Amino acid sequence: MVKASVCLRIFLIVGLVCSPLAAARKAGGIRGMVYDLDFEAPLAGAQVTIAETGETTEATDQGNYVFSEVKPGTYTLVFSKDGYTRKVKADVVVSPGRMTEVNASLSGEFLDMEEFVVQDVQIGTGTEAALLDLRMKSPELLDSISSELMSRAGASDAAGALKLVAGATIQDGKFAVIRGLPDRYVNSQLNDIRLPTADADKRAVQLDQFPSSVIESIQVSKTFTPDQQGDASGGAVNIILKGIPEQSILNLKTGISFNSQVYGENDFLTYDGGDLDFWGMQDRGTADGIKAGAPVNNNVAAGVSTGGAPTDYNWSVTAGGKHEFEEGFRIGALGSFFYETDSSFYDDGINDSRWFVPEKGIMEPQTSPDVSKKDDPTTQEFNTSLFDVTQGTEEVKWGGLGVLGLETEAHKLSLAYMYTHVAENEVTLAEDTRGKEFYFPGYDPTDNTDPGNAMDSRSTAPYLRTETLQYTERTTETLQFSGTHELPDMGFGFGEKFRFLAPEFDWYVATSSAEMYQPDKRQFGTIWLPESAWDPPLDQFLDPLPATHTQLQPGSYITFGNYQRIWKSICEESDQYSLNIKFPFEQWTGDEGYFKFGIFNDDVERNYKQESLSNSGLGVDGYEAAFNEFWSSVFPNTNPDDLPVQPGVDPDVNYRGEQHISAWYYMADMPLNPYFNIIGGARFEDTDLSIVNTPDDIDDVTLIGITPDGNPIEVAMSPDNKGDVSYKQQDVLPSIGFSFNPAKSLTIRGSYSETVARQTFKELSPIQQTEYLGGDVFIGNPDLKMSALKNYDIRVDFTPYEGGLFSASYFRKDITDPIEYVRMIAPTGGYAYTTAINYPEGQLDGFEFEIRQKLDMLSEKLKGFSVGANATLINSEVTLPSPGFGLPPEFQIAKRDMTNAPEHLYNIYLTYNQPRTGTNLGLFYTVRGDTLVAGAGQSNGNLIPNIYETEYGTLNFTMSQKLNDTWKLGFKAKNLLDPAIESVYRSPVGDVTKTSYHKGMEFSISLSATF
């Protein structure tokens, strides 16, 4: 791997060599007109200030102003006059030897707008106005969310903020989905730098770990250009962290929150010893330590308990500033620290496993073993999975951001470090009592003569209970060193028709890591058999069999018992660097374009370790007690010889994965005339992905592959065949687009590009992988290929006035070899497992619409009100490898929807801003449509229908009020409608509930001070 230390040295030398090149360059200038907006006349005496230099001039009687000697660079102009609203023009570019034209119109206003102006000057890309300007100038289709809008929407982290972007949603509360394409098609970055991830199943960054307090903006690029990474197929999500402020600041903030389902809850689900400490950092042993024989503490809780609900609170502090020296350079710093606790609880959860039985034409509970074909299943011994779920979660999240910067007129160097730590305790109680009720309507567990309690029926769909105690720590750390440089204008060109401007280049080198530490996850499962009376005449001589808790064992491992403890850790490290050089030019019409070249390299290494312990499945005494008496509460004492030990058959397989991506590219932005630009180029990208498996015991592991005709095949693992994987691919990824501006307020963009989507380490390794013993089995596919995408986009943006936007887009993506998950049956053992395969092709297309409107354009009485809305309509489908692939013969289909692609997304918001009183109000409503989360399959001839998450909406309200120049009070109310979050089986007889729960409403109050 290319080490970060080497890269740091290389780029530090580059930065130092280029710093002396800040030679004197020919000055430029700024000129323009200032108008009275109401009377459309020149505004004499208006003050025009360059915010960065403090230089001020006054408009003449004809409204003209001019700054004749301005160093080349980017500036912010502030226009003001007593009795008029101040106006800010950001990102004014001054080029050597040229005058930049900037006009402004001021409207009459007798309010003091000083606070508004300072915010615009300081925040820059943290405001909606600046990001809208960036959207119009960007060569790709770019959508953004500012810190300003994040605050008004009450978004607490990057995951919550991303939902406000047109076409964006969040999967599993953490992962970005753009235009219906999930994590493998979306590239998530921090300050343009791709971060590693410690998620067990995905190579996607968990966005919930980045709080809004450290975010300047979130920018989503929806089209690929060659200077982006090649897997930005659905989009590239770039979280821009706060940088060095223009003025010294100190901000303190604290708050308290509560959830309607947590506050006052005295039966909050927890476990003995499960309290989170202040920092959320606990030492509960490691997989390596357990494997090496470290002593295991068995004096721990095996199951759940209840207690009082925790209190949720948060606080943060941010400080920074900049100092300018007489020598012409500036140095600055920013530091931020945040701390937050959070909790959630629900006791109305449902998680049902059902299938459609063709012979009966109904949906029935899935049974193990399968009795769906039996004439009378009520005398059979089997289990169902119709669980009622209660879950309590506590979380501690904290971290910090530090930024150091050095700037001259032509050069900027920045060193940024960020650390986040999230600790979570998730306690889950799942009980199946409805299976018995399904087969014995009106069932009474306390009546030993009930038909469901008969001797030949007591094991028919018995009561089940599973208890899961899961403690997880997630840590992300990144150190980023970057620079931007503008070299002297060499005066090279071809007369007046084509002239090169000052070259620019930027670079970064970063070393980052992500860790997931999940020590001592505990699973305890029981079957409860009721008290049963003997049939006459034996009932006269024999006592009833007592109610008894027995072992609920993992189905795939018959020798394993009902109590498992798992230690797991994932560490992923990334060393990454990039260099881009741009050659701006001015062509024959006076318009500017550029040629751009660059290189990129990312070396990733992942280490996955897991060690599982289980008690025996043989010879364990049961526990005679009623169902509401938990066996787990006494098990460590009543069964001291039955506690988890190293199992005789050890399925754990650790692995080391490496991914090396290197690339170079070229591109150009060529204006043909003042109205039409062509943007195009190509990216050349190499992918090298490898996996080395290290099983605990080779003899206990079976490799499963897939034959060319799609059938599973088993191969014994051996020293010569441990299922290691090596995958290499080279791609040429072209991109071509245009930008057409027929009018100043109208922009039409279109593009075509080709991108890729990569496999994950987990998806390639042909070994059994389980979250826990007895859990769902996943087996990777070493023949899995990368997906290739062809992307088509067109967008029309209309900005009739400053801050207003009307936009419409169409997009289409043709996918070759899309990666989808399917269910298969193992050749030996007959157990079901999930694997990843390449479907032949897929297609996704849709429309996006967006509007932002200041309502005072309609009526002066609505001054301060703004409304925004966006909608995304998505159609998607994938072609199955063969008609009816993996389905019963009665249900032959050739195509189905893509997974994780919602049918539609809607966002609408209304805000009110009154600068004079410091009042801000916001109402935000988001809707996500039906989304396929699992494709249909079969089991023993029964259809397991497609599973869809159903449509639901979220309504949030926010308010903030300035108390004085220093203090501000905030209030947020989230999820006010509190809809059921449901998934359903979309079966031949209609929708049948798969899962359901409520999140509860959340209320918070905050107090902040800015000095």
Point out the least confidently predicted range of 83-92, 245-254, 566-575: 83-92
E strands, 153-309, are 168-171, 175-178, 186-190, 193-194, 215-221, 235-241, 249-259, 268-270, 305-307
Distance of alpha carbon 199 from alpha carbon 439, whole angstroms: 40
Upper half-sphere CA count for residue 339 (Cβ side, 13 Å): 9
325-330: which pairs have CB atoms within 8 A and are 24 or more residues apart? 328/408, 328/409, 329/406, 329/407, 329/408, 330/405, 330/406, 330/407, 330/408
Contact 948, 983 (CB under 8 A): yes
- Position 7 scores a pLDDT of 44
Q: Is the pLDDT of residue 11 over 70?
A: no
What's the pLDDT score for residue 1000?
97
Model confidence at 112, pLDDT cuts 50, 70, 90, reads very low
Instruction: Report the alpha-carbon distance of residue 627 to residue 527 in Å, rounded.
Output: 9
pLDDT band at 1 (very low <50, low <70, confident <90, very high): very low
**CA angle in degrees (0–180, nearest 5) for 279-280-285:** 125
Task: Give the Cα separation of 309 and 314 in Å (integer).
Answer: 16
Asked if residue 174 lies in contact with residue 182, where contact means CB atoms within 8 angstroms, the answer is no
**Structure tokens, 527:** 């079957």
DSSP 710: S
**How far, in Å, CA of 123 to CA of 184, rounded?**
32
Cβ(350)–Cβ(389) below 8 Å: yes
- Enclosing H/E stretch for 323: strand 312-324
Residue 389 contacts by C-beta under 8 Å, 6 or more apart in sequence?
346, 349, 350, 351, 428, 429, 430, 997
Under the banding of pLDDT at 50, 70 and 90, the label for residue 158 is confident
Both tokens of 63, joined, read: 């409204």
Looking at residue 304, what is its pLDDT? 96
- Cα–Cα dist 465/562, whole Å: 11
Backbone torsions φ then ψ of 540, nearest 5 degrees? -80, -20
The strand order across the sheet containing 354-357 reads 362-365, 354-357, 942-944, 937-939
pLDDT digits (tens, 9 = 90+) for 296-316: 888 899 999 999 999 999 999
User: How far is it, in rounded angstroms, from Cα 190 to Cα 613?
Assistant: 38
In angstroms, rounded to a whole number, what is the distance separating the alpha carbons of residues 268 and 262?
A: 7
Please report, in angstroms and rounded to a whole number, the separation of the first and last CA atoms in the chain. Answer: 46
Please tell me whether residue 114 adopts helix, strand or coil conformation. Answer: helix
Q: By three-state DSSP, how is residue 124 classified?
A: helix
Residue type, 170: I
Q: How many CA atoms lie within 13 A of 835 on its CB side?
A: 29
The residue behind tokens 């014994």 is 716
Sequence-separated (6 or more) residues with CB below 8 Å from residue 245: 122, 320, 321, 322, 332, 334
Half-sphere exposure of 7 (CA within 13 A, CB side): 23
Share of residues in the chain with pLDDT > 70 (%): 89
Cβ neighbourhood burial of 328 (10 Å; 0-12, 13-18, 19+):
exposed
CA distance 589 to 259: 60
Mean pLDDT over 836-851 rounds to 94
Phi/psi of residue 5, each to 5°? -65, -40
Choice between 695 and 457, residue whose per-residue pLDDT is larger = 457
pLDDT, mean of residues 432-440 = 96
The answer to whether residue 828 scores a pLDDT higher than 90 is no
CB–CB of 549/528 below 8 Å? yes
pLDDT value of position 943: 93
Q: How confident is the model at residue 950 (pLDDT cuts 50, 70, 90)?
A: very high
pLDDT tens digits, 707-725: 665 666 666 666 777 778 9
Alpha carbons 179 and 755: distance in angstroms, whole number: 15
For the chain, which residues make up each domain, given as ranges? Answer: 1-110, 249-352+389-636, 353-382
Residue 121 pLDDT grade (very low, low, confident, very high; cuts 50, 70, 90): very low
1-110 belongs to CATH 2.60.40.1120: yes
How does residue 324 score in pLDDT terms, banded at 50, 70 and 90? confident
pTM of the predicted protein model = 0.83
The secondary structure element, H or E, covering residue 70 is strand 64-70
Distances (CA, A) of 960 to 125, 232, 312, 917, 972: 21, 37, 20, 11, 9
Using the predicted structure, report yes or no on whether residue 179 has a pLDDT greater than 90: no
Angle 831-834-838 from CA coordinates, rounded to 5°:
135
Average pLDDT value over all residues in the chain = 86
The residue type found at 886 is G
d(Cα 392, Cα 398) in Å, to the nearest integer?
A: 20
- Those residues whose C-beta lies under 8 Å from the C-beta of residue 623, and which sit 6 or more positions away, are 548, 549, 631, 634, 635, 638
* 3 state SS of 681: strand
How much is the pLDDT for 5? Answer: 42
What's the confidence (pLDDT) of residue 29?
Answer: 86
Contact 467, 521 (CB under 8 A): no
More confident: 14 or 891 = 891
